[in-house]
C-alpha cells in the first residue's frame, strides 16, 4: 500500500471517528441544555422549552435495571419526585431503551409502572431511537440532570455516591441530586456539578 493511500485512509478513519464523537457528544455543565421534543406516556408531545423559567430534572430510567430497582423499591426515587415537583420543579423520566431491548415499554406499561410504584414524575417520556439520550450523553440508568430556570445545565451524573444495588446504602450515601438542588435554592454554585453516573448501560438500539 502506498504512503499516500495509507495517509488517505487514516484521515478518513479520523474524520469518521470525529463525526461519531460529535454525534454522541454530551452537553456540558454551565452551557445551555439543548431543547427536545418527546412523546409522553399520556400521549402528548413534551418539549423542554415548555418549562423555561422552572427547574427541570431529567431522570434516565429502565425499570428492569437493578440499580433503578434499588431506588424505586426503597421509595427513594418517588420521594425525590414528590419533593421537587411539590416545590414547582419539573421532573421528566426518560426511557431511551430501544424496542426489543431491556426496559422498553409502551404507554400502557409505562403508566402502569407509574401507578404501581407510586411514582410522581411530571411526565414519562419515550426516546426509542436514543436521539435525546445520546444528545445529553446519558450513559446509565439512572443518570440524572438538573437544568436551571434559565436553561443552563447545572448538574449531570449519579443520583448518589454509593455505586450499589443495595437499598440499605441509600441512607449513608451523599445524594448528589439533593445536594445540587439545595445549593441552587440557596443561590450557590453547585459544588459537584459533574459526577460519574452508575447503573445499567442505556439500552440504545
pLDDT digits (tens, 9 = 90+) for 150-191: 999 999 999 999 999 999 999 999 999 999 999 999 999 999
pLDDT tens string 23-36: 345 689 999 999 99
Classify residue 22: in a domain, yes or no. no
Q: How many domains is the chain built from? A: 1
Residue 4 lies in a domain: no
The answer as to whether 14 is a domain residue is no
Its domain, for residue 75, covers 27-201
Contact 66, 168 (CB under 8 A): no
DSSP state of 23: H
Q: Has residue 203 got a pLDDT over 50? A: yes
> 2 lies in a domain?
no
With b meaning 16 or more CB within 10 Å and e meaning fewer, what string describes 18-50? eeeeeeeeebeeeeebeebebbbbeeeebebee
Q: In this structure, is residue 113 part of a structural domain?
A: yes
Q: Assess if residue 163 is contained within a domain.
A: yes
Least confident of 10-19, 145-154, 156-165: 10-19
Percent of the chain scoring above 70 in pLDDT:
87
Residue 17 lies in a domain: no
pLDDT score, position 27: 86
Condensed to tens digits (0 to 9), the pLDDT of residues 30-64 reads 999 999 999 999 999 999 999 999 999 999 999 99
What is the band of 6 on the pLDDT scale with cuts at 50, 70, 90?
Answer: very low
Of the candidates 108, 161, 132, 167, the one whose C-alpha atom is nearest the C-alpha of residue 58 is 132
Pure H helices in the chain:
3-23, 66-73, 76-86, 107-117, 131-136, 176-185
Check which CATH number belongs to the domain holding 90 and give it.
3.40.30.10
pTM (predicted TM-score): 0.88
Is residue 201's pLDDT more than 80?
A: yes
Residue 148, in any domain of the structure: yes
Amino acid at each position: 500500500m502506498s504512503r499516500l493511500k495509507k495517509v488517505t485512509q487514516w484521515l478518513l478513519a479520523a474524520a469518521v471517528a470525529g463525526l461519531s464523537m460529535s454525534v454522541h457528544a454530551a452537553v456540558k455543565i454551565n452551557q445551555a441544555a439543548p431543547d427536545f421534543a418527546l412523546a409522553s406516556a399520556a400521549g402528548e408531545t413534551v418539549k423542554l422549552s415548555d418549562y423555561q423559567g422552572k427547574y427541570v430534572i431529567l431522570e434516565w430510567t429502565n425499570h428492569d435495571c437493578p440499580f433503578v430497582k434499588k431506588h424505586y423499591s426503597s421509595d427513594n426515587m418517588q420521594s425525590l419526585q414528590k419533593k421537587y415537583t411539590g416545590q414547582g420543579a419539573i421532573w421528566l423520566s426518560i426511557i431511551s431503551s430501544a424496542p426489543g431491548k431491556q426496559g422498553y415499554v409502551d404507554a400502557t406499561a409505562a403508566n402502569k409502572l407509574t401507578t404501581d410504584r407510586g411514582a410522581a414524575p411530571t411526565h414519562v417520556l419515550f426516546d426509542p431511537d436514543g436521539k435525546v439520550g445520546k444528545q445529553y450523553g446519558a450513559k446509565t440508568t439512572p443518570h440524572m440532570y438538573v437544568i436551571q430556570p434559565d436553561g443552563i445545565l447545572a448538574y449531570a451524573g449519579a443520583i448518589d455516591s454509593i455505586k450499589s444495588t443495595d437499598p440499605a446504602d441509600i441512607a449513608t450515601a451523599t445524594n448528589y441530586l439533593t445536594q445540587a438542588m439545595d445549593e441552587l435554592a440557596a443561590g450557590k454554585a453547585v459544588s459537584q456539578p459533574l459526577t460519574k453516573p452508575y447503573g445499567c448501560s442505556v439500552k440504545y438500539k
